[in-house]
Structure 1
Amino acid sequence: MMTIDNFSSEPLVGVSAAFHATEDFFLQFNYGVTEAGLTSFEELSGANVRLLTDSDRKYSYYDFLVGYNIFPGEVFFSDTLTFNSAFYLVGGVGNTDFGGESNFTTTLGTGFRVVLLDWLTVHVDFRDHMFKSDLIRESQLTHNIELSSGFTLFF
């Protein structure tokens, strides 16, 4: 899910690739796409007012992040079932295309991963994509919150 500042929360589709340089540090590339819904102004004013065209409502981003496993550990599901896990922090830069604008974006976030098999993990990520935009009003720093989950394949 992606919550776009001044717009709605919408489903997000994306892909991610990571390189684990050490046991604690990793590099990550992310790409995601979603469609913005209506602003609260558009919803309150009725069907006649639209601030953006349908093509301008496409929200896409890419970013390059550096991650650090701040709390590596284990998750115990039972007395005999244990999995390795890690709570991690990420930060980096990228670009966001939205509303006819292309914006330099700073991304900060956190995540939690559980290693199910040597080659398979499940993870949950929380990210804040921040950029300056003058789409709705004078230039302001927007916070676009992402909550995502997925599977990672190691090779």
Structure 2
Amino acid sequence: MPQPDPPRKSLFKTSSFYSWSLVAVVTLVVGWIFFSRWWQNRVFEHRMRQERTEKQHEDDLATLEQLGGKELAIQTFYATPGELRRGQSVQLCYGVANAKTVKLEPQSNPVWPSYSRCVDVTPSKTTAYTLTITGAGGNTKSQTLVVTVR
């Protein structure tokens, strides 16, 4: 005679059900922790990248403004020393922004657009030097400087 099947235990009465349920819950919690940390790091990196881009843009604008912006400008034009004796040399220094050409009169040495450049001159008498710059659009600006010779 065949033996009757033993009575089946309820699913809730088996220990393996609770063990696997606990493993599943722990796995879900650990998975959620890893996912949330990954997501927070991603948001943080995105925000930092955005702030870095904005800071770089601000720095670029500040640098452009320091270098004269978009306007044609003579930023500096001075002599060192401003007064000298006959036969001595003086340095004429200039800085221009957005200039296409630069002309220094009276001057025999060539000059060109630069943010900071000096040329040596040896005037025999008190001389007025004129720096004239021309922009790409044809606009010009001039500035005059007097070097006194004693």
TM over 0.5: no
The higher radius of gyration belongs to 2
TM-score category (smaller protein): under 0.3
- TM-score normalised by L of structure 2: 0.26
Q: Which has the higher strand share?
A: 1
- TM-score normalised by L of structure 1: 0.26
